[in-house]
Amino acid sequence: MKALLAKKWFGPLVALVVVYAIFLVLRPETFGRAATLLTMSQQTVVVAIAAVGATLVIVSGGIDLSVGSSVALTSVVVAKLLVRGHGPLVAALGGCLVATLCGALGGALVARLKMLPFIVTLGSMSILRGAAKGLANEQKIDAPARGLETLLQPAAGSLRPPTGVFLAIAVAVLAALLLSSTRFGRHVFAVGSNERTARLCGVPVERVKIGVYAIAGLLAGLAGVLEFSMLTVGDPTTAVGLELEVIAAVVIGGASLSGGEGSILGAMIGAFLMTVIKTGATHMGLPNWVQEIVTGGIILVASGLDRLRRGSATS
């Protein structure tokens, strides 16, 4: 039990169960149905995949504000490639490649020029959004989805989740293994916990940082592909503010913005929790502003509780 309490994701899990239970009591006809669960998982996929990348960045002591723009740019690139007659796989890989390169470039600025991650990604947030709009001539690009749309759309009437959900789970599991069981993962924690110690111990700090931002870029790209699959158009104005939702998910999941702490499972729970609140509020007929306040409150309570817990642990 004590070991369980020490887990970063335990608190958020309790919050998720409690919130879900409340909605289950209030709206059993909605929250008791598997179809609702399915819809909610679908709606979480984009945030969840992006949150995996953001967890790596935040654990390494950084931050990535460019996620939303990167998703939009990817959706445009995918649409463009499809319009030109490329296959769905080429289009998806092309989109991911662009996003990965953008991430790696930002990582290089952070690692080599020692620029602040907040500033670098604030810049790339604006640059990528602009690039997406320019590339799309400030319009939505209609494209033949050629099967990509099935990634996030279940077969009608079936309760089998769409491929995208499994994709998100696979990404999360792989990333969790990467963080916990590889040298690279330990190095990410070490850099975030104390960069000077990491350097002293021969950790290639710069390479770790560039790697982390490149992976975050790749996953933002993957999220962008799924965004395209949901919209079936390339939309340069989509996913505005997504980065904040993603960061919220990671923080609710027990990560510390000062680095060295965080968990993939926690971030996944955080992302799902926010979807549950959204869905619940909608089904209760509560206006949008109520769900925004509740989400904000949960962020504050989550990090406040964490602070208290750590305060009592050290004193």
Kindly tell me which of 180 and 282 has the beta carbon lying closer to another protein: 180
Q: Are 247 and 63 in contact (CB under 8 A)?
A: yes
Total residues interacting with another protein, rule: CB under 8 A: 23
Kindly tell me which of 34 and 114 has the beta carbon lying closer to another protein: 114
Q: How far is the CB of 185 from another protein (least distance, A)?
A: 7
CA distance 264 to 125: 23
Q: How far is the CB of 215 from another protein (least distance, A)?
A: 17
201 in contact with another protein (CB under 8 A): yes
Per DSSP, 312 falls in state H
Segment contacting another protein by CB under 8 A, of 80-88, 202-210, 220-228, 273-281: 202-210
260 in contact with another protein (CB under 8 A): yes
Q: Residues 114, 155, 200, 289: which binds another protein (CB under 8 A)? A: 200
CA distance 129 to 237: 8
CA distance 291 to 286: 8
Nearest to 210 by CA among 79, 110, 277, 298: 110
> From residue 178 to residue 197, what is the string marking binding to another protein with x (rule CB under 8 A)?
--xxxx-xxx-xx--xx-xx
Kindly tell me which of 165 and 190 has the beta carbon lying closer to another protein: 190
Alpha-carbon torsion angle 215, 181, 251, 199, nearest 10: -70
Q: Pick left, alpha or beta for residue 249 (phi over 0 → left; psi -120 to 50 → alpha; otherwise beta).
A: alpha
Residues that bind another protein (CB under 8 A): 180-183, 185-187, 189-190, 193-194, 196-204, 260-261, 314
